[in-house]
Amino acid sequence: MTIRAHHVGMPTTRSALDAWKLDRLRSMLSNVLPSNGFYAAKLAHIDPNAIESLDQLAGWPFTFKEELVASAAAGIPGNLTWPVDRYVRFHQTSGTHGRPLPVFDTAEDWAWWMDCWSLILDRGGVRPVDRVLVASSFGPYAGFWSCFDAVVGRGCLAIPAGGMPSLGRLQLARTLAATVLVATPSYALHLAEVAEDHKIDLATLPIRLVIVAGEPGGSVPATRTRIADAWGADVLDHAGATEVGPWGVGDASGGGLDVIEPFFHAEFLTVDTGRPAGPGELAELVLTTLGRTGAPVIRYRTGDVVRPIWAESPRDGGCPWVHLEGGILGRADDMLVVRGVNIFPGAIDDIVRGFPEVVEHRLTVSTRESLDVLALEVEDRLHSPDRIAEELRLRLGLKVEVTAVPLGSLPRFEGKGRRLIDQRSGRGTAEPS
């Protein structure tokens, strides 16, 4: 059961939320613009005290990851507000869509991360009595580090499982009676596969909640169901980015994501025209951090494709944050056009995960006569790929060549799963699912 612990003083109406966000934006800009050379140049015409509405952001320039990467000299981010000596944490992006981006945080900014994570932990009903196993190698990526620090701050027993084989992590979860697992969706499923191979009954573990992040799978219905069934636990989806922060959280009783609006302002641009999107339209998510003063991003083009829905009233007594139906549907640069049909790899993932006999899969996209062509490899215990091809044809209206490959032959992933091999001209790299 999900236990909610809403923060005292958080706004509970849309008008109060917008006023809260506007005040945080003005405060952040008052600190940023005099000292941050990157944004002082981009927003030279902005007077923080003259901002009367969040709607005014629509006239400001966007920030792109490519320009942040280009601005980083000798490993120092270009969007720093303060001298480097004031910063206490270094992280970097994974680089799955280009060169890794270095990201620095001050102690105050890291406290802001913790405030964001506190709301995420509230959604999962995480309490001091919980024992939280963080199944990650950690590395330089901020997500698992921030989660680990947040559960320590909550008073939980935080269990780091970096540098361990999967079987060792399962044994540690059993020995310490872990109640919460934090992992990517791919790795949560892989741990379940390892448990099955070693005759470990996950039902005997006290895991009640699996927090997933790093991939869209936590809001993909079939993937979410497989994780929940494998672990006998609730599944809480979470979204974030090292350069942005932990911006989204789902619900342990259902799919989709809410933008954590007290700390982020979200805008949505339609995928086809780039105009402001309305409810339910396919749109790219644009985010502005509210409170991360040392390394802010303002009108940041995330590249994540979503369908926004604006709540009319508070849910369960909390903030009426904008909801993203289906979570992150894909990346704008991963959208496939196959015989005139627009699809994302996540749609294929949802269908394939609906076959419990399929252990793992990989999608290859190539170009033929200016159209994307799809080929799918599956590790199928039934060795019957035709039934999968037929389901793809029925649900997507597309012919996908499906081939069965030997069990255990496809890669497994601890971090972001890379199940798409993009052979289209100018791509040629494996991208996250």
> Which two tokens mark 83?
């001298």
Do residues 183 and 412 lie in contact, with contact meaning Cβ atoms separated by under 8 Å?
no
Do residues 183 and 193 lie in contact, with contact meaning Cβ atoms separated by under 8 Å?
no
Residue 344 has pLDDT above 50, yes or no: yes
The pLDDT of 69-91, averaged and rounded, is 94
Strand segments (E) across 194-306: 209-212, 234-241, 245-251, 254-259, 264-270, 283-289, 300-306
The pLDDT of 114-124, averaged and rounded, is 96
Q: What is the pLDDT of residue 369?
A: 63
The pLDDT of 330-334, averaged and rounded, is 79
The model's pLDDT over 188-209, given as tens digits with 9 standing for 90+, comes to: 999 999 999 999 999 999 999 9
Percent of the chain with pLDDT over 90: 63
Q: What is the pLDDT of residue 3?
A: 35
Q: Tokens 């999107």: give the residue.
A: 277
Task: Please tell me which of 4-8, 133-137, 171-175 the model is most confident about, judged by mean pLDDT.
Answer: 171-175
The model's pLDDT over 235-291, given as tens digits with 9 standing for 90+, comes to: 999 999 999 999 999 988 778 999 999 999 999 999 889 999 999 999 999 999 999
For 335-431, which CATH superfamily applies? ANL, C-terminal domain (3.30.300.30)
Percent of the chain with pLDDT over 70: 90
The whole-angstrom separation of Cα 33 and Cα 314 is 34
The pLDDT of 373-398, averaged and rounded, is 90
Which ranges in 36-82 belong to alpha helices (H)?
Answer: 37-42, 65-71
The whole-angstrom separation of Cα 197 and Cα 336 is 35
In whole angstroms, what separates CA 391 from the centre of its chain? 28
The whole-angstrom separation of Cα 103 and Cα 381 is 43
Do residues 219 and 181 lie in contact, with contact meaning Cβ atoms separated by under 8 Å?
no
Residue 346 has pLDDT above 50, yes or no: yes
Phi and psi dihedrals of 144, rounded to 5? -75, -35
Residue 430 has pLDDT above 70, yes or no: no
| CATH number, span 1-329 | 3.40.50.12780
pTM score: 0.83
Domain boundaries, the chain: 1-329, 335-431
- The rounded mean pLDDT for the chain is 88
The whole-angstrom separation of Cα 160 and Cα 132 is 9
C-alpha closest to that of 61 among 303, 299, 304: 299
Rounding to the nearest 10 degrees, give the CA dihedral for residues 336, 341, 347, 348: -80
